[in-house]
Amino acid sequence: MTAITRSRAGINRARDYLELTKPKVVALLVLTAWVGMMLAVPGLPDLITLLAATLGIGLLSAAAAAINHVVDKRIDAQMARTYSRPVAKGRVSAAEATAFAFSLALLGFVLLYLAVNALTAWLTLASLFGYAVVYTMFLKRATPQNIVIGGLAGAMPPLLGWTAITGEIHSHALLLVMIIFAWTPPHFWALAIHRRDDYAKVNMPMLPVTHGIEFTKSVICLYTVLLFIVCLMPYLVGMSGAIYLVGSAVLNLRFMQYAWKLKFNADAGTAMATFKFSIVHLMVLFLLLLVDHYFKVSPIYVS
């Protein structure tokens, strides 16, 4: 083996391990955790705590994703979207991926416990357990409500960010969790409509498989309305201001428009376009929360 082929093999291996961590998903999870950290205090949070919490929450999320690859090895190998994943294809063995996941989890937990606080460490570990064990091992295979209940784990990062900075669970952080909780079903079911046959082939009881595509489209419409209402809460409780209110209304009206098109006027690409928009929606929504936090126009009271 020449030095060039050796280094190419090394790069491919590193790429496989990176893929195990679902890096784009983890990036968005970490963004939502950051927003939780920034909104927890009036100015900027302590930089060292911010960095340690970012790394810790990222490592535990990545570990959860890697465990998901191991547990789903068999079904991933049979679905068009996932068949070439590193564990499904055997490029990384289940034992190697498990050891990788446990190393990341241990590192993340110790970092959070020692450099952030015990509450955040335990809550983040509970989120890992919620996704990797409760959702992936049990719910996913048991009920079409799998992603509604399992979605709670993925919705936790803003709370994890908040507790990292303050050491306390605050109702405002729970509002951010509720936003992601309401966002997850339209996010996932849009993709599940597009991939319905894949899920049916491996007997996964996803909503479009168990209740049909038309029913799933109706429920997506209802969830986008619910999401619109939940997204008003930060404004209504005085946590966020006008920038957020206007921005979130525009984003949610657009999401509802996608859902409407999916239900009543879909073409072959609408489900996938709705799924892709859901990701932009959540990213921009959380950036808006951040911008609003720092540029919020405070009401002027005249005494």
Ligand X SMILES: CC(C)=CCC/C(C)=C/CC/C(C)=C/COP(=O)(O)OP(=O)(O)O
Chain positions 132 to 151 lying near ligand X, rule: CB under 6 A, are 136
Asked if 184 is part of the footprint of ligand HEM (rule: CB under 6 A), the reply reads: yes
Question: Under a CB-based contact definition with an 8 Å cutoff, are residues 132 and 69 in contact?
Answer: no
Please, where are the H alpha helices in 156-212?
Answer: 157-166, 171-194, 196-201, 207-210
Asked if 252 is part of the footprint of ligand X (rule: CB under 6 A), the reply reads: no
Among 24, 171, 301, 302, binds ligand HEM (CB under 6 A): 24
Nearest Cα to 20, choosing from 93, 78, 74, 79?
A: 93
87 binds, among ligand X, ligand HEM, none (CB under 5 to 8 A by kind): none
**CA 262 and chain centroid, separation:** 22
Please report which helix (H) or strand (E) contains residue 230, including its range. Answer: helix 213-236
Question: In 46-84, which positions are buried (b, 16+ CB within 10 angstroms) versus exposed (e)?
Answer: eeebbebbbbbbbbbbbbbbbbbbbbbbebbbebeebee
Give the shortest CB-105-to-ligand X separation in angstroms.
Answer: 9
Among 56, 150, 158, 247, binds ligand HEM (CB under 6 A): 150
Tell me the residue ranges of DSSP E strands in 67-207: none
Give the shortest CB-38-to-ligand HEM separation in angstroms.
Answer: 16
DSSP 251-268: HHHHHHHHHHHHHHS--T
Asked if 191 is part of the footprint of ligand HEM (rule: CB under 6 A), the reply reads: yes
Question: Under a CB-based contact definition with an 8 Å cutoff, are residues 173 and 159 in contact?
Answer: yes
Asked if 123 is part of the footprint of ligand X (rule: CB under 6 A), the reply reads: no
Query: What's the CA gap between 70 and 56, in Å, rounded?
Result: 21
Asked if 124 is part of the footprint of ligand X (rule: CB under 6 A), the reply reads: yes
Nearer to ligand HEM, 37 or 191 (CB): 191
From 56-64, 113-121, 223-231, 278-286, give the range in contact with ligand X by CB under 6 A: 56-64
Nearer to ligand X, 76 or 292 (CB): 76
Which tokens belong to 63?
A: 């570990």
Residue 99 CB: number of other CB atoms within 10 A? 12
Among 25, 134, 202, 249, binds ligand HEM (CB under 6 A): 25
Rg (CA), the chain: 20
180 binds, among ligand HEM, ligand X, none (CB under 5 to 8 A by kind): ligand HEM
Among 107, 134, 279, 290, binds ligand HEM (CB under 6 A): 279
Contact residues toward ligand HEM (CB under 6 A) are 24-25, 28-29, 32, 81, 135, 147, 150-151, 154-155, 180, 184, 187-188, 191, 279, 282
Can you give the binding site for ligand X, defined by CB under 6 A?
A: 22, 25, 29, 60-61, 64-65, 68, 72, 82, 124, 127-128, 131, 136, 153-154, 156-157
